Amino acid sequence: MRVGWIYPRDNRCGIALYGRRYTEALAKLIDVFSLDASEAVSPGSRESVRKCDLVHVQYEPAHFVRGGRDLYRALRARIPRPLIVTLHEVYHEFPGVFPRSAIRGRGPVRWLRERLYDLRHPVHTRYRKHVHARFGAQRIVVHYPYQKGIVVDQGIPSGMVEIIPHPTVTPPARNPVPRERPDRRPLHFGCTGFINANYDYELLFNTLQAIEKPWRFTWIGGIRREEDRVLLERIEQVVRARQWEDKFSVTGWVPDGEQMDRLADIDVYLALFVNRSTSGSLLMA
């Protein structure tokens, strides 16, 4: 059996890590052909996809909208085989933007407002259309029962949706440290992920400010998009203003093995998510 596995293979993100670990494990059992999401609609990939008995897509809306083009729709048209789609992030309404369901007005006024909203939010618009089309899939995979409830509410038949928990098997730390904290060692707080607007930084700063015992904090990660650099600079400004330079650090992106080493050295993991329906790094911690 040959399975085609389409995901953001070359991106430094949790979905890419998930995909790599799954395909590495499956390759010991079956023939797995992995393909980056951005390459999946290229002419050269068509024949490779056709040779698969089953195709699996790790769907994340932003990975399938490029320059206004709906790559997922183009991809689906090229897949003649049974298709399984995994949804990692599932929400009733997309976080961080005005909810479409809150648009008010009557008749043509509301219609116009909805069309303008759709034009201004192409990623969200494509996602809604794919949900309406059931992603053209035979099965939809989510990680939790509440996520299944959301997609069923959005119109996908319950019988199509399978719940497969997020895998948590991770490589051990190469340099494990004792879990017992020495009395004289500062309490080590930490979190993981790319710095972006989906974390509550005020909560982080206020929490650290309120700690009376010696502490240090490590953010295992950095920025992935250049537009988030302003946010990183703002964090650095707060750190300097509070004179935390000697105990607050941001590592930048680190490979899997180093991430596990650093997680093993943390005493308290801080989950600072503003909006998140699942997190591989949190499960690893």
* Widest CA span in the chain: 68
pTM of structure = 0.75
Task: Tell me how many domains the chain contains.
Answer: 2
Kindly state whether residues 40 and 88 are assigned to the same domain: yes
pLDDT at position 65 is 78
Model confidence over 144-171: pLDDT tens digits?
899 999 999 999 999 999 999 877 665 5
Average pLDDT, the chain: 84
What percentage of the chain exceeds 70 in pLDDT? 88
DSSP state of 10: T
What are the angstrom distances between the C-alpha of 29 and each of 15, 164, 228? 22, 19, 40
Are 40 and 76 in a shared domain? yes
Tokens of 64: 């399938």
Q: With respect to residue 248, please indicate whether it lies within any of the assigned structural domains.
A: yes
User: What's CA 201's distance to the chain center, in Å?
Assistant: 19
Structural domain includes residue 225 = yes
Asked if pLDDT for residue 206 goes beyond 60, the answer is yes
pLDDT average, residue stretch 73-90: 86
Helices then strands, each counted (H, E), the chain: 10, 12
Residues 41 and 152 in one domain: yes
Q: How far apart are CA 84 and CA 86, in angstroms?
A: 7
pLDDT at 74: 81
Which residue has better confidence, 107 or 284? 107
Assign residue 178 a region: left if phi > 0, alpha if psi is -120 to 50, beta otherwise? beta
Q: Note whether residue 170 is domain-resident.
A: no
pLDDT for 176 beyond 60: no
In a domain, 172, yes or no: no
Q: What's the pLDDT at 86?
A: 93
* Residue 198, domain CATH: 3.40.50.2000
* The pLDDT value given to residue 201: 93
Whether residues 133 and 263 share a domain: the answer is: no
Same domain, 138 and 214: no
Identify the pLDDT of residue 11: 64
For 89-145, write each residue's pLDDT tens digit: 888 877 667 878 888 888 888 889 988 988 888 888 888 889 999 999 999 999 989
- pLDDT of res. 228: 83
What per-residue confidence (pLDDT) applies to 61? Answer: 81
7 pLDDT band, cuts 50/70/90, is confident
Asked if 111 and 145 sit in the same domain, the reply is yes
Question: Which is more confident, 72 or 134?
Answer: 134
